[in-house]
Structure 1
Amino acid sequence: MGQAQSAVTKTQEQMATGKRVLSPADDPVAATTILKLNQELARTEQYKKNIDVADNSLSLEDSTLQTVVELMQQMNVLAVKAGNTAVLTAADYKSIAAEVDTRISELMNLQNTRNASGQYIFAGYQGDTQPFVNKGGGNFEYLGDEGQLFLQASASVSVAVSDSGKKVFVDIPSDHNTVNTSASSSNRALPASVVSVGQIVDQELFDSFYPEDMVIAFNANSAVVPNGPNYTVTERSTGKVLVANAPYVSGEEINVMGVSLSISGSPVAPTPASLPFNFDAAAAPIDFSANPTTLKISVGGRSETLEFNSLPVVNNVADFAAMLNAAPNAAKLANLGLTASATGFVSANGMNISVQGGNPALQSATGLTTMAGVVSTNGKAGDSFFVESTDKQGLLTTLSRFSEAMKSVKDTPESKALLSDLVAKTLSNLTNSITNVVSVQGEVGARQNTLESSRDLNLDVNLFVQQELKSVQDLDYAEASIRLSMETLVLNASQQSFTKISQLSLFNYL
């Protein structure tokens, strides 16, 4: 009777819930299938949410890019207008430059667009970081990365939902070899000195120098007479001096290898680095002809090997300094920008000095543990600025150079000729920028089409899974009703039999 009651109760629960399988014990195989189908439905629902998020992100990106394209087309019109150098005056160009500056601010806001969650859409993986910042002097810096966010749209489809600002707005092929200018992150001037965006004023000369980079490093004030701020321009890869100890005036034009730029502010001069000597008089006289050795000395990544293998003997630190300032060591020290005296090695440009090698005799002469290696720590380099060759030009840089050129133009044929050349480059680079942005727009559209296809596929999968789930899980009410009637009949019969049997006793048979 208990089994009959359980059967009736189970069937009633099945009919109340509409489900055939109430627990894994009812049908282990079906229960496993139901679990898998429900998991598939949950995944499909998450894909639907992902597609909605992705579609919103791509729609925002597409509308932003379309606004950028329209802005660039307006800039193209202004550039064509600016090409009329025979009619326009310097005052006219300043008016056009003011409008370009307004558009630059508008463009920067577009490039720093945020989504509904407050994330910057063109910052790559750095969604919390403003990707484009104004560094002054017409220079802009991209602080995001090259990351691209993806969302899963279906079991087999993953769709990119963002593009880095570097790809869209920075890495744009330039119509000509050009430069990017920047200040070293280790500069110490407060307020910081600012380097201008720069212009190529002699393309042929610069092309002969390309792809080398330049470093503008500020020297000790004592490097020029009369003493004052000055700088040296070197080729970055080799250290070759291009301009030596040029007097510095804030805002004054600097022309080197076909590049024109300016630096504004008060760059900090270097703090010289030094390795002082401490001659061991007890070791004198020191005869290097009998104890020959070499010393590797390095500054700023460049090295020379000093030689100690000849007479005269060294009786004091003055004798040792004289040996350093004689051939062949003198030229080697000069190559590194070092001086040597009785007080020690000095690097006037502030780059620290390292020495390695030698023998006990050399250690006695210098008072330095050269065999273990010694590095100075008191040097601080002067402020420096970089001019990096590149075949790419960011959109903001293109417009900034266009504006700066119009602000500085003069009503002379030579100045107008330079501006005319810059306008031609601006038009070409704007065309390249539009092409690049439109190409990304096309990619965005293709991704949105992929999302729609995935949405349709997920609907089909959802319908199929629900049908499968229904066939495995749902109750057949007709069959259940018949079964419930039979189980109820059995239960009633059991109860009636139990009632009759329970009333029987031996007294009924006496």
Structure 2
Amino acid sequence: MRISTSQIYNIATLGMGQAQSAVTKTQEQMATGKRVLSPADDPVAATTILKLNQELARTEQYKKNIDVADNSLSLEDSTLQTVVELMQQMNVLAVKAGNTAVLTAADYKSIAAEVDTRISELMNLQNTRNASGQYIFAGYQGDTQPFINKGGGNFEYLGDEGQLFLQASASVSVAVSDSGKKVFVDIPSDHNTVNTSASSSNRALPASVVSVGQIVDQELFDSFYPEDMVIAFNANSAVVPNGPNYTVTERSTGKVLVANAPYVSGEEINVMGVSLSISGSPVAPTPASLPFNFDAAAAPIDFSANPTTVKISVGGRSETLEFNSLPIVNNAADFAAMLNAAPNAAKLANLGLTASATGFVSANGMNISVQGGNPALQSATGLATMAGVVSTNGKAGDSFFVESTDKQGLLTTLSRFSEAMKSVKDTPESKALLSDLVAKTLSNLTNSITNVVSVQGEVGARQNTLESSRDLNLDVNLFVQQELKSVQDLDYAEASIRLSMETLVLNASQQSFTKISQLSLFNYL
């Protein structure tokens, strides 16, 4: 067998390259301290190393989450503690205010001024932000200021009931916030009470303001509870002499509690044991109308021969009008007479509608819906009643709501306390009402403190959970690092011996090639 000179060089190059690669790899292992430098070195070990490194990364993220969560809960805890201290100060003032036999109206105004200052302080606490600028009591709406002053002693919560969570370990997630509604609003009241608010569709500019309200006759209100009330402003023509006026109705049934009462801005409104006031110039309704369009050239219509009914609706209430008598000789006045006769007249009045030769009118501004009838009715009215027709020109007057509730927010409790002291007079009757309000304030402050302290306890329990999770993560981290070391780290003793052997092989290859490369037939010629 002949071996060419080029083959000798190729074999030598391949052998020395492999030996050099082995030496280089061992040197890299010793330099990095790692046995597996690439998945090709040990596929099974490489997979295990990847999983262990991922577990270390998760544990590191859990550590960061715990730090963030602990900071958030510490901020919440310190804020709640300040709130508790503030409420305790308010409790002292309420006890002082209970001394009605000695204090005068002027004294109460001074106390009310201090309460107002504390209300502003409390509102700032309830709108606390964290280091990221997020409101901590806004639920999921961290960018939205949760508590705003609506005027008249009313406050509104704009956040939601969401609760933010962070993962503290593979199996533990911890709430890092509490909804302001849970902490400061949904507090059990010592008595049945109300929340007052203005409709979002009110049109007055500037907006009219409803006061926070007081329960001045608890027994009467308890007999009405849990119904709500609506205060709706009517057309000025509803009273004589014409002027602003309102009607108070039971929200669920529409039952009228107070009808067409003259309105004076800021004047006290008393209904079903509730006292409140509305300030400003509420807008009266724009009447809604459905005009008739009789065809004078059409043949007479005899409803006794073509009886029908039609459903007419206003503001969610409906009545069925009957058309089964009176021949119409294309006379709008005759048709209006049938509408204003029994039983239709009572039904229209129940809906707050009037009917004339020109059409239906809803003075309260609620749009009118008509559905049903027959071709004869359509011909008489000029309205497409069979397909259904709705007026669109009405606009309701401004309205305000009095909602029954068995809860009372902390800001509302202090606001009612302040308003009562501002309006007290140096009379036995007025002092008696204030004394009753002070007793309710003390009870509700106690409930508020209990609620906030309860949330504080939950915050402390979560911080304990975080601490336990921190310790658990440290143990997991130590175990994973030990496991990773056993799979990935290099045995330096074995590597040193292997490097010596590989170096010897490389040197031997180089020296033998040197001698072999000098062999040639030319040396024997």
Same fold (TM over 0.5): yes
Q: Is the 8 A contact 1:284 1:316 kept in 2?
A: no
State the Cα deviation string for residues 167-202 of structure 1 (Å, max 9, x = none).
000000000000000000000001110000000000
Aligned partners of 2:368 and 2:390 also within 8 Å: yes
User: Does the CA-based 8 Å contact 2:119-2:414 persist in structure 1?
Assistant: yes
Contact 1:177 1:210 in 2 (8 A): yes
**Contact (CA 8 Å) 1:171, 1:392: kept in 2 or not?**
yes
Q: Deviations over 1:439-478 (max 9, x none)?
A: 0000000000000000000000011111111111111111
What is the DSSP-based 3-state SS (H/G/I as helix, E as strand, rest coil) of the residue aligned with 1:282? coil
Distance 2:377 2:108 in 1: 67
Instruction: State the partner residue of 1:484.
Output: 499
Q: Contact 1:223/1:245 (CA < 8 Å) preserved in 2?
A: yes
| Equivalent residues of 1:58, 1:448 under 8 A apart | yes
Contact preservation (8 Å) 2:162, 2:179: yes
In 1, distance between residues paired with 2:60 and 2:192? 51
SS at match of 2:405: strand
Pair 70,484 (structure 1): closer, same or farther in 2 beyond 3 Å:
same
1:259 correspondence with 2:274? yes
Runs (5+) with no aligned partner, structure 1: none
Which range moved further: 68-77 or 307-316?
307-316
Q: How does 1:322-341 map to 2 (within 5 A)?
A: 322-341=337-356
**CA-CA distance at 1:289 after TM superposition:** 1.6
- Per the alignment, in what secondary structure is the counterpart of residue 258 of structure 2? strand
C-alpha contact (below 8 Å) 1:220/1:269 kept by paired residues: yes
Moved more, 26-35 or 274-283: 274-283
Question: Is the 1:221–1:227 contact (alpha carbons within 8 Å) kept by the matching residues of 2?
Answer: yes
SS of 2:140's partner is coil
Distance 1:501 1:449 in 2: 77
Q: Is the 8 A contact 1:296 1:303 kept in 2?
A: yes
Q: Identity rate of aligned residues, in percent?
A: 99
- Residue 22 of structure 2 aligns to a residue whose secondary structure is helix
Of residues 95, 102, 119, the one that matches 1:87 is: 102
Off by >4 Å, runs of 4+ in structure 1? none
Which shows bigger deviation, 4-13 or 449-458? 4-13
Instruction: Check conservation: 2:294, 2:330, Cα contact below 8 A.
Output: no
- Residue by residue, what CA displacement relative to the aligned partner does 1:115-146 show, whole Å, maximum 9, x if unpaired? 11111100001111110000000000000000
What does the per-residue CA deviation read over 1:252-299, in whole Å, with 9 as the maximum and x for residues that have no partner?
000000000000000000000011110122333111122211111111
SS at match of 1:280: coil
Distance 1:104 1:452 in 2: 35
Higher mean C-alpha deviation, range 489-498 or range 101-110: 489-498
CA distance in 1, matches of 2:256, 2:521: 129
SS state of the match for residue 365, structure 1? helix
Whether contact under 8 Å (1:140, 1:397) holds in the other structure is yes
Instruction: Report if the CA contact (8 A) 2:267-2:277 is conserved.
Output: yes
CA contact (8 A) 2:330 2:380 kept: no
* Farther off after superposition, 276-285 or 177-186: 276-285
Question: Following the alignment from structure 2 to structure 1, what is the Cα–Cα distance between the partners of residues 210 and 363?
Answer: 24
Q: Displacement, 1:503?
A: 1.4
Partners of 1:283 and 1:395 in 2: CA distance: 68
- Whether the 8 Å contact between 1:195 and 1:264 is mirrored in structure 2 is yes
On the 8 A contact 1:172/1:393 being kept in 2, the answer is: yes
Give yes or no for contact 1:314–1:320 (8 Å, CA) kept in 2.
no
Give the aligned partner of residue 45 of structure 1.
60
Hey, what's the Cα distance between the residues in 2 that align with 1:262 and 1:255? 9
Question: What does the per-residue CA deviation read over 1:416-461, in whole Å, with 9 as the maximum and x for residues that have no partner?
Answer: 1100000000000000000000000000000000000000000000
Deviation at 1:502, TM superposition (A): 1.4
> Residue in 1 aligned with 2:509?
494
CA contact under 8 A between 1:252 and 1:262: conserved in structure 2? yes
- Once residues 315 and 360 of structure 1 are traced to their aligned partners in structure 2, the CA distance between those partners, rounded to angstroms, is 14
* Cross-structure match for 1:345: 360
How far the C-alpha of 1:77 sits from its partner, in A, is 0.5
| Structure with bigger gyration radius | 2
2-side partners of 1:125 and 1:367: how far apart?
53
Q: 1:45 offset after TM fit, Å?
A: 0.5
In structure 2, C-alpha distance between the alignment counterparts of 1:228 and 1:419, rounded to whole Å: 34
- Displacement after TM superposition at 1:509 (Å): 4.2
| TM-score normalised to structure 1 length | 0.99
Q: Distance in 2 between matches of 1:507 and 1:251?
A: 127
Superposed CA deviations along residues 373-427 of structure 1, whole A, max 9, x for unmatched, are 1111110000000000000000000000000000101111110110000000000
Counterparts of 2:410 and 2:159, CA distance in 1: 16
| Other structure's SS at 1:175 match | strand
SS at match of 2:242: coil
Deviations 1:196-224 (CA, angstroms, capped at 9, x unpaired): 00000000000000000000000000000
Post-superposition offset of 1:497: 1.5
RMSD: 0.8
Query: What is the CA distance between 1:314 and its match in structure 2?
Result: 4.4
**CA deviation map 1:464-503 (0-9, x unaligned):** 1111111111111111010000011111111111111111
SS at match of 2:301: coil
In the alignment, which residue of structure 2 is the partner of 1:461? 476
Preserved contact between residue 202 and residue 283 of structure 2 (Cα < 8 Å): yes
Q: Does structure 2 retain, via aligned residues, the 8 Å contact 1:148–1:161?
A: yes
Tell me, in whole angstroms, the C-alpha distance in 1 between the residues paired with 2:76 and 2:329: 75
Query: Which runs of 5 or more residues in structure 2 are unaligned?
Result: 1-15
* Alpha-carbon distance in 1 for matches of 2:47, 2:25: 20
TM-score between the two structures when normalised by the length of structure 2: 0.96
**1:147–1:314 CA distance, 2 compared to 1 (3 A):** farther
Q: What SS does the corresponding residue of 2:130 show, helix, strand or coil?
A: coil
Post-superposition offset of 1:507: 2.5
How many residue pairs get aligned? The number is 510
Once the two structures are overlaid, the 10-residue window that deviates more, 272-281 or 428-437, is 272-281
Give the secondary-structure state (helix, strand or coil) at the position aligned to 1:283.
coil
TM superposition shift of 1:160: 0.2
State the secondary structure of the residue aligned to 2:56. Answer: helix
CA contact (8 A) 1:104 1:399 kept: yes
Contact 1:402/1:423 (8 A) holds in 2: yes
Taking the aligned partners of 1:83 and 1:284, their CA distance within structure 2 comes to: 80
Deviation at residue 316 of structure 1 after TM alignment: 1.6
Deviations 1:15-51 (A, max 9, x none): 1111110100000000000100100010000000000
User: Is 1:139–1:196's contact at 8 Å kept on the other side of the alignment?
Assistant: yes
Question: Could you tell me how far apart the structure 1 residues matched to 2:87 and 2:491 are?
Answer: 66
